Amino acid sequence: MARVMNFGAGPGTLPLAALERAQEDLLDFDGTGMGICEHSHRGKAYSALHAEIKALLTSLLGLDESWEVLLLQGGASAQFAQIPMNFLGPEARADYVLTGTWGEHALAEARRMVGGRARVAGTSGTGPGAVAHLGAGYTRVVRPEEVTVDPGASYVHCTSNETVHGVQFGHVPGRWFDAGAVPVVCDVSSDFLAAPTDLSPFSLVYAGAQKNLGPSGLVVVLVRKDFLARAVTHLPNIFSYAVQAKNDSLYNTPATLSVYLARNVLSWVGDLGGLPAMEARNHGKATTLYAAIDRAAEFYRAPVEKTSRSVMNAVFRLPTEALENAFVAAAEKEGMFGLKGHRSVGGIRVSMYNAVEPAWISALAAFMDDFARKAG
């Protein structure tokens, strides 16, 4: 078997232990004589798995009784729609804080439903963006004084880590901006479980699985029960958080294989020492990688301000596009894949999700030193 070093931005690499565990369970899950995909989602074996993954999330994140844990489908993009569907009644307004592309997408989806009642509360974008009148060219998170939250808004939405731009708020939520008493909703897709996280400022967080949690097909939504109580009721059952909560996320057939694999990933996180261990592991990788960038700062141009640099996705440019293509091709020869930047911004992106091995980052950093010396 020849597995490569996969720095892809999502779907990203998964822990080898989680995949190896799945090999047998695909054929015969826990000695039941049936593969995991073949089990009824209402049967005993799947029910135990379903309870186990919820328990793992609850213990890793230290969730108390105030939270509802939902395991849904449709990815983070479905949440862009489901959040306004659930929380914006006929007159209601919502605020969006923009620090990159994904926040823009969330806003655009809300505007499709409620038009101008979805408002920009603050942005760190500087150029013409994906949404009319909004900014692209994000190189940092917003400063607190750049955000004005409408006290009458039903929620304010933000993105903890902007995957495309490599811009991350970090782990001091209270200081991101002042939301007053307005519930804060956060897309945590690309830094979920990357470090111990204080969820106290949030009313709802959601994470598409395929960055840090498992394969695509699953999105985890953590919602506070008191916020959920404010949801509108006139909407299709399948899109209603309340209906999903009432049915323990088993209103219809869940993505059983994705849930199963996420269980394996979560138990791997636990085995390694939980979120504090993930934080140490990720901090070490990011330090190594950014040091390689900064050693050749004329050659590897990292646009993001240092205090907003993402621990999960590092982005940089080389002097020319031809050099970027040569970089990607030479890296592939060394067994390093997934380094091309997002198609909307170009350049290079190194994703350093939980499952990315520290040794891969060390190898990449050495490759970068070498490449810059030869080409620079």
Ligand X SMILES: *Cc1c(COP(=O)(O)O)cnc(C)c1O
Q: Which of these ranges, 61-69, 187-195, 297-305, 344-352, lies near ligand X under the rule CB under 6 A? A: 187-195
Which one of residues 99, 123, 139, 163 is an interface residue with ligand X (CB under 6 A)?
163
Concerning whether 102 is annotated as a catalytic residue, the answer is yes
- The helix or strand, by DSSP H or E, that contains position 75, with its residue range, turns out to be helix 75-87
338 binds ligand X (CB under 6 A): no
Q: Does 159 participate in binding ligand X (rule CB under 6 A)?
A: yes
Give the residue at shortest CB distance from ligand X: 75
Of 39 and 309, nearer to ligand X (C-beta) is 309
Residue 267's alpha-carbon distances to 22, 44, 214, in angstroms, are: 13, 20, 12
211 catalytic, yes or no? yes
Which element (helix H / strand E) includes 269?
helix 256-272
**Contact region for ligand X (CB under 6 A) — 86-94, 185-193, 234-242, 364-372?**
185-193
The DSSP code sequence of 125-146 is: --EE-SSTT-EE---SPPPGGG
Q: Which pair of structure tokens corresponds to residue 369? A: 């030193």
**Is there a catalytic annotation at residue 67?**
no
Which residues, 6 or more positions from 218, have their beta carbon under 8 angstroms from its beta carbon? 71, 72, 73, 208, 209, 254, 255, 258, 259, 262
Q: Binding ligand X by CB under 6 A: which of 76, 98, 158, 167?
A: 76
Question: Shortest distance, CB of residue 187 to ligand X, whole angstroms?
Answer: 5
Contact positions with ligand X (CB under 6 A) in 41-70: none
Cβ-based neighbour number of residue 152 at 10 Å: 10
| Least distance in angstroms from the C-beta of 111 to ligand X | 17
Beta strands 348-351 and 313-316, pairing class: antiparallel
DSSP letter string over 24-68? HHHHSGGGSSS-GGGS-TTSHHHHHHHHHHHHHHHHHHT--TTEE
Indicate the residue among 316 and 353 with the shorter CB distance to ligand X. 353
187 binds ligand X (CB under 6 A): yes
Nearer to ligand X, 165 or 285 (CB): 165
Least distance (Å) between residue 261 CB and ligand X: 15
Residues 99 and 138 sit within 8 Å (Cβ to Cβ):
yes
Question: Amino acid identity of 321?
Answer: E
Near ligand X by CB under 6 A: residue from 189, 244, 282, 351? 189
Residue closer to ligand X by CB (options 68, 187) is 187
Number of residues that bind ligand X (CB under 6 A): 12
Burial of 102 (0-12, 13-18, 19+ CB in 10 A): buried
Choice among 25, 95, 187, 191 that is catalytic = 187
Query: Cis omega (within 30 of 0) on the bond before 319?
Result: no
Q: Decide: is 310 part of the binding site for ligand X (CB under 6 A).
A: no
Task: Pick the closer one to ligand X by CB: 106 or 364.
Answer: 106
Residue 91 burial (CB count, 10 A): 9
Q: Pick one of 13, 123, 190, 212: the residue that binds ligand X (CB under 6 A).
A: 190
Map residues 3-22 to x or -, x wherever contact with ligand X holds by CB under 6 A: -------x------------
- Catalytic machinery residues: 102, 187, 211
- Per CB under 6 A, residues contacting ligand X are 10, 75-77, 102, 159, 163, 187, 189-190, 208, 211
